[in-house]
Copies of this chain bind each other. A is one copy, B any other.
Amino acid sequence: MLTNSRLVHQTHDHGRCIKAALTRALDLCVERKARMTPTREAVLRLLWQSHQPLGAYQLQDQLATLLDKKIAPPTVYRAIEFLLQLGLIHRIASLNAYIGCPFPNSDHSNLFMICNNCGSAAEVAHASINELLQTASDKANFTLQSQTLELFGLCPQCAYIENKSK
């Protein structure tokens, strides 16, 4: 079970998260002969600014500040599309939002644990869940191609606080 769940839900040296993500991204770009442009890098940075998914228009706002110029929606969506293609980020369908992928190299069917209270989202690659989904698909004669798996609830921190206040 590959996950960034500990990290996401605890205070940590977050500068490292960002730096590591950028390094991975640059490596992947070299490998795939893709170009990491300023806009694309800025979007990736913003998506790693926190462990909370951001919407396209939140990104747009923050890009204006970061790049010090107005960016129109198509540009934002193009950068998002590019990063999605490379597997550097994911889309959280139930939130219409995007988040950096902590392990873009490993070919994974991912799962997210999203906190209803603080909005943080941890990614989990859980082999046995994926196997079970595959088995269930097989049994139904369904040819599984992709999946959206988003769990909502309370992260450890928020659950702790909630319990305390009772």
Contact = CB atoms under 8 A, between A and B. Distances in A.
Interface of A: 1, 3, 5, 9, 93-94, 111, 113, 116, 122, 124, 126, 128-129, 132-133, 136-137, 139-156, 159
Contacts of A128: 132
A112 to B, nearest CB: 9
A119 B70 CA distance: 39
Q: How many copies does the complex hold?
A: 2
A156 B129 contact: no
A142 B149 CA distance: 15
A126 B135 CA distance: 11
Nearest to A95: B93
Contacts of A159: 141-143
Given A1-B136, A124-B136, A132-B132, A151 B147 contact: yes
A117 B23 CA distance: 38
Contacts of A136: 1, 111, 124, 126, 129
